[in-house]
A and B are shown apart, each in its own frame.
Chain A
Amino acid sequence: MAVTLSGFRGSLRRARTAAWLGWQVEGNWADPVLFAIYVLARPLATALILAAMYSAVRAHAGGAGPGAGAAAAFTGFFVANAFHSYVNQVLVGMGWAVFDEREQYETLKYVYASPVGMFTYLAGRSLVKYALATVSVLATLLVGWFLLGVRWDWAQVQWLPLLAATAAGLASTLFLGFLLAGWSLVLARAAMVALEGVSLASYLLCGVIFPIDFLPVPVRWLAMGLPFTWWYEALRRFLTGHGTVGMMQRFADREVLLWLGVTTVVFAVLARWGYFAFERQARRLGRLDQTTLF
Chain B
Amino acid sequence: MSLAAALPAIEHRPRHTGARLFAHAMLARMYVRIVGSLREPTWMIADAIFPNLGMCAFVLLYRALGAPRSYEALALIGGVLTTYWINVLWGMGAQLYFEKMQGQLALYFAAPCSRLAILSGMALGGLVATLLRSLVGVAIGLWVFHVQVAPFSPWVLAGVFVLTMVALYALGMTLSSLFLLYGREAWHTANALQEPVYFLSGLYFPVRTLGALGATAAGVLPLTLGTDALRQVLLGPAAQGLLPLGQECLALAGFGVLFLFLAGRAMAYLEALAKREGRLTQRWQ
Contacts and interface: CB of A to CB of B under 8 A. Distances in A.
A60 B64 contact: no
Interface string A189-200: 110011011001
Q: Which of B40, B183, B192 has the most CB of A within 10 A?
A: B192
A50 B61 contact: yes
B66 interface: yes
Query: Interface on chain A toward B: helix, strand, loop, or mixed SS?
Result: helix
Interface string A104-116: 1100000000000
Contacts of A210: 57, 60-61, 63-64
B205 A52 contact: yes
Contact of B188 (A29, A60, A197): A29
Interface in A188-231: 189-190, 193-194, 196-197, 200-201, 203-204, 208-211, 214
B46 A52 contact: no
A38 B192 contact: yes
A46 to B, nearest CB: 6
Interface stretch (A69-77, A155-163, A176-184, A280-288): A69-77
Interface in B184-199: 184-185, 188, 191-196, 198-199
B258 interface: no
A54 interface: yes
Query: Interface on chain B toward A: helix, strand, loop, or mixed SS?
Result: helix
Nearest to B50: A200
A46 B205 CA distance: 12
Contacts of A67: 66
Given A38-B192, A42-B195, A30 B185 contact: yes
A57 interface: yes
B196 A41 contact: yes
A200 B194 contact: no
Contacts of B42: 189-190, 193-194
A56 B71 contact: yes
Contacts of A45: 195-196, 198-199
Contacts of B192: 37-38, 41-42
Interface residues of B, number: 45
B189 to A, nearest CB: 8
A214 B66 contact: no
Contact of A70 (B57, B66, B101): B66
B245 interface: no
A41 B61 CA distance: 22
A55 interface: yes
A148 interface: no
7 contacts: A38-B191, A52-B204, A55-B209, A60-B71, A104-B101, A210-B63, A210-B64
Given A42-B191, A73-B64, A200-B53, 8 more contacts: A52-B204, A53-B75, A53-B204, A56-B67, A70-B66, A193-B46, A201-B53, A204-B54
